[in-house]
Structure 1
Amino acid sequence: MTVSYDEARTALLDAALLHVPFDGWSEATFQAAIRDAEMAPGVARAVCPRGAVDLAIAFHKNGDQVMLDRLGAIDMSGLKFSEKVTESVWMRIGASENKEAVRRGTTLFALPVYAGDGARLIWGTADHIWTALGDTSEDYNWYTKRATLSGVYSSTVLYWLGDDSPDAMATRAFLERRIGDVMQIEKLKSQVRKSPTLSRLMAGPEWVLGRIRPPARAQRDTMPGSWTAPRGEADRP
């Protein structure tokens, strides 16, 4: 029977998760998954050229999809925006039901050779959250929002990994404090814009940053953006 790429990867991932707590996202885990899934090694390697690393990436992306499905099934219209962000991050934490697999993944993506993969995954999670919440930023704010949320998400995951409180309520409190810190920064930015003196002082930097554009939607997993060239002196502040 012929199986699709996604079916083969899912079978490997399901089999690998039984071994990750013992061997991590390693070659030993990948080989065990091949055996348990009764898959030809050549097929497994075609599906996951980097072995368990690709499975770890798939595991993270599956968590993102669970979060998006849950976000699409609830009504958050009555919440303040900061509360929507908090709930979204909390749902993403809740989607990671296999804490040991997350712990092992954190260790894997801390290695220099895989650090870029880890950064892209966290950035992708932040992008999914902002997009699901209806973010329409088309300038440097597209980056600052995702960079800030990436920091909040990654620090919350690390806290959660060491949290043994009932229902991870200590993690929830930690997350709410981090979101509160971010909102203080946004409040400060708003005050700067409203200040006649500070707004004039920031006019130049704001103009420069205003030329930055987010990457095309099809390329947003890779994080680069673009620069819009000035049209003329009339564009200058």
Structure 2
Amino acid sequence: MLFRRPIGRACVRPIFAPTTAVRGFQSVYHVESPIIDDSKLENRILGRAYNKFVPTHGFTKQSVDLAIADLQLRPENLGGLFGIGLQVSDVVNELIMYHLKHTRANLSRYHDEAGKLATEGAKVRFYMQKRLLDNVPIIKYYHQALGRMILPTNLGIFLTELHNLSDDITYYSGDKSNDFAWYSKRFALSSVFVQSELFMLGDTTPDYSATISFMNDRVSDIDTLGYAHIVQDEDLLLEKEPIIPTITVDHHIHTQNTYFIAVPELLRPIYDALLQIAPSKMVSSIRVSFPELEEQDEAEEFDDDEQLYKSSKAVLAQQDSKTIELHQTTLNNQNINFLLVPVFRSKLIYNLFASTLFQHFAISKLLCFATSELSGLHTLNKLVSQNYRLPEKPLLLKQVPDMQPPNFITGAAGALVSHANIYNVEVAAIAVSAEGAFQLDMEKFDISGLVDLAVIVDDYLGLKGDYVQIVKELAKVKKASSGSNALYI
């Protein structure tokens, strides 16, 4: 029931109409059970909170409290039904899930209009547009919802609802696939929808026309995806739970420093040059491991599918088992912690890593770097939180253009910036223009962008040395190994 227990796999489902059907990988098995049971008192309260108070008070417990009062209910009489008084995060998560299910249910209102469209692709765009525009009444506070959705404890249940949305849209649009294409289309559409929502947060165009254009362009890229076969489909057919890594922190030297700099692996020359020019000491190490696989009994017998699953996951775990060193240096009488974030093939690890970092360290200020497919001729863009305090002295960073839609960041920097927003931490991200910036192992950028970033870092940290030249020399080594004028990861 609502508010009764910590958020988890079954926390929200009982509030809404139960479903006994399983969404199989054939469209003929599409689930058509009611999405929200409006007869339940819990949903009446959530509905009143969502429609009347979230647009002005956001996704907060206050919105639910106001809804209870507006319905002339007495909270003290609802304790047995709701479990009033439990963690606020549970209440907020219930309200967020109501938004997702309510807007998904709204899609059924547009079937007649969608039926007049000729192609499956046109219908997908139509339903996607309707769903995105349903965010408009609460867009002012939607960053609160997105911030909570990506928390590791919440990620599973919200991802399930995201894929349910993609399933509904593809089915309503006329998808009849009954093979690997079932997964290909839905996972691709989920990715497009998430990107479009992130784009929407910064869209200032009338009627969010830029967001709709952004979404249409990306849907066009997957129009023929139903005929594609993706490697990950075999894992999906095995219907196994993802293997979640364990992330541990080992403090070698206790530090109270709260200023952090995070550099992704692709921009390693920025990190290595900092190690060379600024004397530092390692204060902590962060280890990503997979105990579930490491402790597996080698003599244990599996059937063929189970063995295939374990083998593939063991390879992935071996690649993603890494130790990250946290170094500390002193620059201009200020202690700074800095670290290099490696590439993880499992994107889930970036969120788990960011969550661990913010939980174990009292971070008050974060500077991180990223790659992004920047539009225009810019080599750099910056993304700065409203509470980020820049020094009053002239800085080259202030001249870096602000990131605007359709540009965005993902990966390690995306996870860190999102968590900084949740923890109300000052954060600034500088993105270097890169081709294929969102495709693992396919990123490429011109060395001039890396040098521009080095100039900004040198000026911002007041290094006053050979930092930029060291970055250039390190970049030449990487360029020589790649055999071109560009850097690859």
TM range (shorter): 0.5 to 0.7
Residue in structure 2 matched with residue 83 of structure 1 by the alignment: 122
Name the structure with the higher helix share: 1
Cα distance in 2 for partners of 1:176, 1:28 equals: 37
Residue in structure 2 matched with residue 46 of structure 1 by the alignment: 81
Cα distance in 2 for partners of 1:53, 1:101 equals: 14
Taking the TM superposition and a 5 Å limit, the aligned residue runs for 1:183-194 are 183=223, 189=228
Asked whether the 8 Å contact 1:23–1:29 carries over to 2, the reply is: yes
Asked whether the 8 Å contact 1:34–1:44 carries over to 2, the reply is: no
Q: 1:212 aligns with which of 237, 242, 254?
A: 237
Residue in structure 2 matched with residue 226 of structure 1 by the alignment: none
The alpha carbon displacement at 1:101 in A equals 4.6
Asked whether the 8 Å contact 2:59–2:144 carries over to 1, the reply is: yes
- Structure number with greater CO (CA < 8 Å, separation at least 6) is 1
Q: 2:63 aligns with which of 26, 29, 33?
A: 29
Cα distance in 2 for partners of 1:210, 1:154 equals: 22
Cα distance in 1 for partners of 2:106, 2:128 equals: 12
Q: TM-score when scaled to structure 2?
A: 0.35
With 93-102 and 80-89 compared, the bigger mean Cα shift is at 93-102
Cα distance in 2 for partners of 1:25, 1:69 equals: 25
* One-letter identity of the residue aligned with 2:44: T
- After superposition, the C-alpha distances for 1:20-72 in whole angstroms (9 at most, x for unaligned) are 356543334333332333224354773688423212211211111112211x1
Q: 2:213 aligns with which of 168, 173, 181?
A: 173
The alpha carbon displacement at 1:210 in A equals 11
Q: 1:16 to 1:94 in 2, by over 3 A?
A: closer
* One-letter identity of the residue aligned with 1:86: R
Q: 1:159 to 1:48 in 2, by over 3 A?
A: farther
Identity %: 21
Q: 2:131 aligns with which of 88, 92, 96?
A: 92
Q: Which runs of 4+ in 1 moved over 4 A?
A: 16-19, 184-187, 208-211
Q: 1:126 to 1:176 in 2, by over 3 A?
A: same
SS at match of 2:113: coil
With 91-100 and 41-50 compared, the bigger mean Cα shift is at 41-50
The alpha carbon displacement at 1:138 in A equals 2.8
Gaps of 5+ in 2: 1-37, 85-89, 242-304, 306-489
User: Would you say 1:155 and 2:203 are equivalent positions?
Assistant: no
Asked whether the 8 Å contact 1:29–1:52 carries over to 2, the reply is: no
SS at match of 1:74: helix
Cα distance in 2 for partners of 1:68, 1:103 equals: 26
The alpha carbon displacement at 1:123 in A equals 1.0
Q: 1:48 to 1:177 in 2, by over 3 A?
A: farther
Cα distance in 2 for partners of 1:95, 1:28 equals: 22
* One-letter identity of the residue aligned with 1:46: L
- After superposition, the C-alpha distances for 1:123-182 in whole angstroms (9 at most, x for unaligned) are 111011112123233333222211110001111111112111011111111011111222
Asked whether the 8 Å contact 2:177–2:226 carries over to 1, the reply is: no
SS at match of 1:60: helix
The alpha carbon displacement at 1:78 in A equals 4.1
Q: 1:142 to 1:7 in 2, by over 3 A?
A: same
SS at match of 1:135: coil
Q: TM-score when scaled to structure 1?
A: 0.68
Asked whether the 8 Å contact 2:182–2:226 carries over to 1, the reply is: no
Taking the TM superposition and a 5 Å limit, the aligned residue runs for 1:49-68 are 50-68=90-108
Residue in structure 2 matched with residue 74 of structure 1 by the alignment: 113
Q: How much is the aligned-residue C-alpha RMSD, in angstroms?
A: 3.7
SS at match of 2:178: coil
- After superposition, the C-alpha distances for 1:107-130 in whole angstroms (9 at most, x for unaligned) are 221222222232122111101111
Asked whether the 8 Å contact 1:15–1:36 carries over to 2, the reply is: no
Cα distance in 2 for partners of 1:32, 1:121 equals: 27
Cα distance in 2 for partners of 1:124, 1:211 equals: 15
Cα distance in 1 for partners of 2:73, 2:158 equals: 27
Asked whether the 8 Å contact 2:49–2:67 carries over to 1, the reply is: yes
SS at match of 1:137: coil
The alpha carbon displacement at 1:211 in A equals 10
User: Would you say 1:20 and 2:54 are equivalent positions?
Assistant: yes
Q: 1:125 aligns with which of 165, 170, 188?
A: 165
* One-letter identity of the residue aligned with 2:164: G
Cα distance in 1 for partners of 2:171, 2:200 equals: 24
User: Would you say 1:114 and 2:154 are equivalent positions?
Assistant: yes
The alpha carbon displacement at 1:9 in A equals 1.7
